[in-house]
Amino acid sequence: MANIKVRQNGPYLVEGDDVTVVDWNGQAYVIPKRPFALCRCGGSTNKPFCDGTHSRIGFQAAEAAVPASQDKLAP
Ligand code: FES
């Protein structure tokens, strides 16, 4: 099973041994280590992987998961 964690003001951290990353041709990228991080800021020189540039450019991202509503519809 794979897990993708959205890091605050940082990359997508991908955890899982059976995950591959492929380009638009279906060619797999070599993943040097696991877990690995995918760039979310657009600034990496090693896309699609994160190279730490997000820290140097002060990447800010405000999105966060919104818990599902506990409200129930009236019958
Ligand atoms: S998220 Fe790390 S370099 Fe873009």
**Hey, whose CA ends up nearest to atom 2 of ligand 1?**
50
The tokens of 64 are what? 């966060």
Query: What residues line ligand 1, using a CB cutoff of 6 Å?
Result: 10-11, 39-41, 43-44, 50-54
Question: What is the tens place of the pLDDT at every residue in 21-37?
Answer: 999 999 999 998 999 99
pLDDT along the chain (75 residues), means of 10: 96 96 98 96 98 98 82 67
CB count in 10 Å sphere of residue 12: 15
CA gyration radius, the chain: 16
Half-sphere exposure of 36 (CA within 13 A, CB side): 19
From the alpha carbon of 51, which atom of ligand 1 is closest? Answer: 3
What is the spatial distance between Cα 8 and Cα 42, in angstroms, rounded to a whole number?
15
Q: Which of helix, strand or coil describes residue 55?
A: helix
Q: What pTM was computed for the model?
A: 0.86
Give me ligand 1 centre to Cα 69, in Å. Answer: 32
